[in-house]
């Protein structure tokens, strides 16, 4: 739900100004007593753990005269001299700079030796030091300790209170030696006229007899235009007659009223202020006049509005966040029930967004999210509610549509809009989206159910190829729980040794010789069932498990390659797939070099395969990584060639050895002229660039004949050999060759 600021709590905090003023103007309490009462008041009002106040004595010694809260008995009465206040310490910094200073480690940041005897929970209590200042000089320090983070408006109010304390205490100290009535009157006049708060003194009829400088500053009226007038001249239309009647009834009953009131300045601007009105009585208890003390709280109100906005909007994109979206969805559901209308909830997830963060960095990833948010807004109507749920997830509420086809049009428009390239640092970045859609009332009668089912439909869209939308269907209900269970088992699979490798042979098409094998990952669970790669590899990519799994694959491949090398196969390489997340991982080359060294494998027997899409994500970074990898002596191939967005100007710079034509082009080369043309062009391109070409997915004699006829160098596929475990590979292929 949206942030609900406690209005009464805010009023209580603003009231502390008038309470502190009353403490400071109390004549029968000395300086130490006033500081102690102020510490007690601040502790109670702001729910702090510890408050202490110290004043500067001779030789810049800080005498702690008041303390309240946890461990106050250990603090009060301390006299800190130059030994405990080093010249470069935080207290000296606060005194000299006259700005607040934060002590992350509390008293330990001041002097560890001096405060080592304090209880441990007090020693390191995070503390904010506020300077007590007057006439551009510091007269002391207020320390505020709390484990709870403070809101900006609370810190501003605390600083305002401390400024007022310092100013008034400074005046009191300056004039405390004057005991005559005349000097007391001068002091009161100085406090009155120089106070940060506006002050009115009126007669019993409400006519203003005195107004200080701050009153003129806040209201906009010069002093001569205020004197003799009634404060009702400031009245706005914000409050009704009953409000003012209740106000005066409470003054007569309680001898005081304080609260928030909206008044109008001379220029007509309506503003909020915190006002305290008290009667001034003579010795007989008769009211002689009234005093009103008020502060302009416009900035605090603006800060509250900003906090509310920040609490309900995403800072990066400016879109409503999860809380505000769910609040709006609940309201939309209530309205739909009342008017018997439909609602559609769209759950949008960006495909492979982690690759962008891993490749370009989070700063550029944030730019992509901002551009995605902008595109989504332009693709929706004004009355559609768009939000960012977090990460790369966005949601939309659609209302006022006639049928499901209208929603389908919107979903297709979103997919098409996000399919256009995004330019980051003058490079094209391609991103797509998967969308799940649920409807009220057919898919759910509450916001929670609608969200859950839209999320389920989104994962169904991802699992079926991404870059599409799915309407929720009841058959999807078990998918989310199944996915969570698969992820749980996947995290245990590595430590339980449930992964294994199968090897698919690769042949030279001109000689028919076995020249290598591709290592393919398999997951055999403890019940001996095999989990298909397309069921767990995308999940491992998403949750980061692909990194430890990928490293395990490389280690196993190098061990096996070394074993076959020792067995006499000196022209036999093994290819291992490198995921996009692995490729963007820092220190990849060093990690691979260590694996080669540990397995005692000659690097020429290892080939790494990188998909075309991953290679083109960040060309400059890809080029540097490939150069470093190539220097180790390994071979490099581009996998799934033809399915990405390769630029030949970039491709020719890459230090690669081989292009692997994706199986999707091989499947119909004997019957589809377009696929045939692509394959022939790829072979020709590779020959011109001095690269080898390997065709994947060769399953028929027609395909094999076509590839041989057009000069394809190498091939693999079910026609030539299925992937098998290493032991079976030995028996089926190595022994026969």
- Distance, in Å, from the CA atom of 76 to the CA atom of 362, rounded to the nearest integer, reads 49
Residue 175 burial class via C-beta count within 10 angstroms: exposed 0-12, middle 13-18, buried 19 and up: middle
Per-residue pLDDT, 642: 63
The answer for residues whose C-beta is within 8 angstroms of residue 445's C-beta and 6 or more apart is 333, 337
57-73 pLDDT per residue, tens: 877 788 999 999 988 88
Q: How far apart are CA 9 and CA 15, in angstroms?
A: 10
Q: Other C-beta atoms within 10 Å of 447: how many?
A: 22
Per residue in 377-422, pLDDT tens?
888 888 899 999 988 999 999 998 888 888 999 999 999 888 888 8
Range among 159-173, 569-583, 680-694 with highest mean pLDDT value: 680-694
Residue 82, pLDDT > 70, answer no
Instruction: Determine the average pLDDT of the residues in 516-526.
Output: 90
pLDDT surpassing 70 at residue 188: no
For residues 500-539, one letter each, b for 16 or more C-beta atoms within 10 angstroms of the residue's C-beta and e for the rest, the string is: ebbbbbbbebeeeebbbbbbbbbbeeeeeeebeeeebbeb
Cα–Cα separations (whole angstroms), residue 669 to 694, 700, 705, 713, 719: 15, 11, 11, 16, 15
Sequence-separated (6 or more) residues with CB below 8 Å from residue 190: 171, 175
Mean per-residue pLDDT, 439-451? 91
The pLDDT of residue 575 is above 70? yes
Residue 27 has pLDDT above 80, yes or no: no
Flag whether pLDDT at 3 surpasses 60: no
**H and E: helices and strands count for the chain:** 28, 28
Percent pLDDT > 70 in the chain is: 92
pLDDT digits (tens, 9 = 90+) for 478-502: 666 677 777 788 888 888 888 999 9
- The answer to whether residues 425 and 618 touch, using CB atoms and an 8 Å cutoff, is no
Distance CA 599, CA 560 (A): 9
At what angle are helices 7-24 and 31-46 packed, to 10 degrees? Answer: 180
β-pairing verdict for 101-103 and 208-211? unpaired
Distance CA 346, CA 341 (A): 17
The span from the CA of 603 to the CA of 480, in Å, is: 43
pLDDT computed for residue 261 by the predictor? 93
User: CB neighbours (10 Å) of residue 117?
Assistant: 8
Q: How many CB atoms lie within 10 A of CB 695?
A: 28
| pLDDT greater than 70 at residue 290 | yes
Alpha helices in 520-576 (DSSP H): 533-543, 546-566
Mean residue pLDDT of the chain comes to 85
C-beta separation of 470 from 437 below 8 A? yes
Helix (H) or strand (E) holding 362: helix 362-378
Return the SS3 of 44. helix
pLDDT at 332: 92
pLDDT at 5: 41
C-beta separation of 21 from 198 below 8 A: no
Checking if the pLDDT of 53 tops 60, the result is yes
Q: What average pLDDT does this structure show over 249-259? A: 91
Distance CA 287, CA 301 (A): 34
In this prediction, residue 116 has a pLDDT band, given cuts at 50, 70 and 90, of: confident
Mean pLDDT, range 332-350, rounded to an integer: 92
Angle value at C-alpha 539, between 536 and 543, nearest 5 degrees? 135
Among 600, 575, 579, residue whose Cα is nearest residue 588: 579
Q: How many CB atoms lie within 10 A of CB 125?
A: 25
Confidence (pLDDT) at 359:
72
Q: Which of 163-172, 245-254, 599-608, 657-666 is the least confident region?
A: 163-172
Average pLDDT over residues 424-436: 82
Q: Which residue has the higher pLDDT, 645 or 407?
A: 407
d(CA 194, CA 180): 21
What string of H, E and C letters represents the secondary structure of 642-660?
A: CCCCCCHHHHCCCCCCEEE
309: Cβ–Cβ under 8 A, 6 or more apart, which residues? none
Token pair for 2: 């949206």
- The per-residue pLDDT for 4 is 42
Token reading at 722: 């299925």
Question: Does residue 295 contact residue 198 with C-beta atoms inside 8 Å?
Answer: yes
Rounded Cα distance, 334 and 690, in Å: 67
Q: Tell me, what's the pLDDT at 112?
A: 79
Is the per-residue pLDDT at 717 higher than 90?
yes
For the residues 191-199, what does the mean pLDDT come to? 77
């Amino acid at each position: 739900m949206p942030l609900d600021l406690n209005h009464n709590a805010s009023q209580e905090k603003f009231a502390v100004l008038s309470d502190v003023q009353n403490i400071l103007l109390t004549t029968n309490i000395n300086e130490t007593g006033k500081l102690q009462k102020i510490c007690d008041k601040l502790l109670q009002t702001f729910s702090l753990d510890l408050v202490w106040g110290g004043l500067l004595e001779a030789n810049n010694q800080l005498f702690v005269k008041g303390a309240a809260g946890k461990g106050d008995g250990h603090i009060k009465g301390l006299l800190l001299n130059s030994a405990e206040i080093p010249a470069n310490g935080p207290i000296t910094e606060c005194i000299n700079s006259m700005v607040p200073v934060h002590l992350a480690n509390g008293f330990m940041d001041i002097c560890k030796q001096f405060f080592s005897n304090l209880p441990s929970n007090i020693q390191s209590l995070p503390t904010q030091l506020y300077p007590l200042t007057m006439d551009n000089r510091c007269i002391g320090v207020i320390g505020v300790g709390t484990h709870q983070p403070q809101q900006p408006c609370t810190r501003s109010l605390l600083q305002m209170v401390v400024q007022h304390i310092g100013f008034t205490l400074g005046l009191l100290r300056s004039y405390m030696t004057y005991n005559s009535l005349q000097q007391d009157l001068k002091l009161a006049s100085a406090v009155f006229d120089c106070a940060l708060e506006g002050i009115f003194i009126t007669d019993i009829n409400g006519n203003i007899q005195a107004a200080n400088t701050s009153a003129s500053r806040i209201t906009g009226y010069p002093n001569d235009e205020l004197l003799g007038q009634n404060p009702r001249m400031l009245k706005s239309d914000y409050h009704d007659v009953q409000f003012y009647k209740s106000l005066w009834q409470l003054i007569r009953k309680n001898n005081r009223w304080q609260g928030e009131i909206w008044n109008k300045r001379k220029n007509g601007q309506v503003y909020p202020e915190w006002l305290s009105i008290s009667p001034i009585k003579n010795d007989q208890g008769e009211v002689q006049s009234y005093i009103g003390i008020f502060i302009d709280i416009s900035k605090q109100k603006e800060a509250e509005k900003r906090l509310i906005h920040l609490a309900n909007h995403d800072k990066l994109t400016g879109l409503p966040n999860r809380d505000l979206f769910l609040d709006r969805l609940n309201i939309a559901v209530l309205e739909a029930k009342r008017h018997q209308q439909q609602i559609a909830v769209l759950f949008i997830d960006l495909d492979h967004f982690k690759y962008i963060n891993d490749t370009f960095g989070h700063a550029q990833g944030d730019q992509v999210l901002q551009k995605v948010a902008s595109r989504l807004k332009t693709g929706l109507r004004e009355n559609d509610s768009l939000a960012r749920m977090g990460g790369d997830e966005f949601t939309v509420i659609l209302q006022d549509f006639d049928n499901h086809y209208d929603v389908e049009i919107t979903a297709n428009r979103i997919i098409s809009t996000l399919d256009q390239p995004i330019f980051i640092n003058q490079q094209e970045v391609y991103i797509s989206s998967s969308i799940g859609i649920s409807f009220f009332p057919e898919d759910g009668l509450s916001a929670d159910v609608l969200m859950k089912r839209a999320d389920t439909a989104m994962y169904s869209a991802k699992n079926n190829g991404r870059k599409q939308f799915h309407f929720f269907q009841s058959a999807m209900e078990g998918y989310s729980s199944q996915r969570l269970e698969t992820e749980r088992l996947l995290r245990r699979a590595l430590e339980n040794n449930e992964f294994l490798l199968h090897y698919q042979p690769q042949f030279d098409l001109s000689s028919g010789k076995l020249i290598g094998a591709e290592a393919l990952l398999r997951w055999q669970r403890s019940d001996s069932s095999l989990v298909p790669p397309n069921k767990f590899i995308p999940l491992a990519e998403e949750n980061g498990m692909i990194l430890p799994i990928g490293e395990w694959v490389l280690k196993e491949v190098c061990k096996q390659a070394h074993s076959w090398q020792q067995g006499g196969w000196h022209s036999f390489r093994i290819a291992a797939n490198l995921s996009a997340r692995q490729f963007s991982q820092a220190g990849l080359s060093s990690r691979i070099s260590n694996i080669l060294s540990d397995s005692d494998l000659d690097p020429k027997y290892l080939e790494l395969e990188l998909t075309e899409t991953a290679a083109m994500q960040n060309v400059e970074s890809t080029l540097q990584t490939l150069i470093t990898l190539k220097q180790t002596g390994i071979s490099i191939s581009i996998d799934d060639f033809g399915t990405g967005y390769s630029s030949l100007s970039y491709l020719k710079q890459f230090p690669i050895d081989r292009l692997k034509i994706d199986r999707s082009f091989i499947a119909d080369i004997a019957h589809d002229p377009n696929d045939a043309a692509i394959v022939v062009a790829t072979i020709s391109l590779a020959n011109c660039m001095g690269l080898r070409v390997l065709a994947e997915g060769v399953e028929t004699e027609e395909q094999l004949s076509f590839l041989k006829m057009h000069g394809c160098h190498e091939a693999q596929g079910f026609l030539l050999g299925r992937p098998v475990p290493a032991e079976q590979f030995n028996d089926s292929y190595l022994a026969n060759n």
